[in-house]
Amino acid sequence: MNKNNIKVKKGYLKEDFRVFHLKDKKNINYEFHYHDFYKIIYFISGKVKYLIEGKEYNLTPGDVLLISSEEIHRPIIDFTVAYERVVIWVNPLFLKKHRSDSFDLSGCFNKANERGSNLLSFNNSKTKLLADTLKALENELSGSQIGSHILSNSLLIQFMVYTNRICAQLKIEKTAALGNGKKNNLVNNIIKYINQNLDSQLTIEKISSHFYISRYYLMHKFKEQTGYTVYNYILQKRLLRAKSLLEKGMSVVEVCGESGFNNYSSFIREFKKNFGLPPKKYYNEIIQSHIEYEKKGHF
CATH code, domain with 201: 1.10.10.60
Residues 144 and 32 in one domain: yes
Q: How confident is the model at residue 39, as a pLDDT?
A: 96
Average pLDDT (11-40) is: 86
Q: What is the percentage of the chain residues whose pLDDT exceeds 70? A: 87
Quick check: is 205 in a domain? yes
Q: How confident is the model at residue 238, as a pLDDT?
A: 93
Residues 260 and 136 in one domain: no
Residues 191 and 165 in one domain: no
Amino acid at 44: I
pLDDT digits (tens, 9 = 90+) for 72-93: 888 999 999 999 999 999 999 8
- Angle at CA of residue 280, ends 277 and 283, nearest 5°: 85
Quick check: is 26 in a domain? yes
Quick check: is 214 in a domain? yes
Residues 103 and 194 in one domain: no
Number of H helices, E strands in the chain: 11, 8
Quick check: is 2 in a domain? no
Residues 157 and 68 in one domain: yes
Q: How confident is the model at residue 68, as a pLDDT?
A: 93
pLDDT greater than 50 at residue 172: no
Q: How confident is the model at residue 12, as a pLDDT?
A: 63
Alpha-carbon gap, residue 99 to 94, rounded angstroms: 9
pLDDT greater than 90 at residue 30: no
Average pLDDT (140-169) is: 91
Quick check: is 11 in a domain? no
Quick check: is 60 in a domain? yes
The count of structural domains within the chain is: 2
pLDDT greater than 50 at residue 177: no
Quick check: is 180 in a domain? no
User: In which region does residue 157 sit, left (phi positive, over 0), alpha (psi from -120 to 50) or beta (all else)?
Assistant: alpha
- Listed in sequence order, the residues at least 6 apart from 220 whose beta carbon sits closer than 8 Å to its beta carbon are none
Average model confidence (pLDDT) across the chain = 85
pLDDT greater than 60 at residue 98: yes
Among 172, 199, 228, residue at a domain's last position: 172
pLDDT greater than 50 at residue 67: yes
The single-letter DSSP state of residue 37 is S
Average pLDDT (135-164) is: 93
pLDDT greater than 70 at residue 41: yes
Average pLDDT (276-293) is: 77
Residues 79 and 112 in one domain: yes
Confidence of residue 169 (pLDDT cuts 50, 70, 90): confident
Residues 61 and 148 in one domain: yes
Question: Cβ atoms within 10 A of the Cβ of 116, count?
Answer: 14
Q: How confident is the model at residue 181, as a pLDDT?
A: 54
pLDDT greater than 70 at residue 52: yes
Alpha-carbon gap, residue 299 to 290, rounded angstroms: 9
Q: How confident is the model at residue 180, as a pLDDT?
A: 52
- Listed in sequence order, the residues at least 6 apart from 249 whose beta carbon sits closer than 8 Å to its beta carbon are none
Top mean-pLDDT range of 3-7, 117-121, 179-183: 117-121
Quick check: is 82 in a domain? yes
Domain, as residue range, for 214: 185-289
- How far is it between the farthest Cα atoms of the chain? 64
pLDDT digits (tens, 9 = 90+) for 114-133: 888 899 987 778 888 999 99
Residues 92 and 166 in one domain: yes
Q: How confident is the model at residue 291, as a pLDDT?
A: 56
Residues 157 and 25 in one domain: yes
pLDDT digits (tens, 9 = 90+) for 208-263: 999 999 999 999 988 887 777 999 899 989 998 998 898 888 899 999 999 999 89
Among 123, 140, 172, residue at a domain's last position: 172
**pTM score of the predicted model:** 0.80
User: Using only C-alpha atoms, what is the Rg of the chain?
Assistant: 20
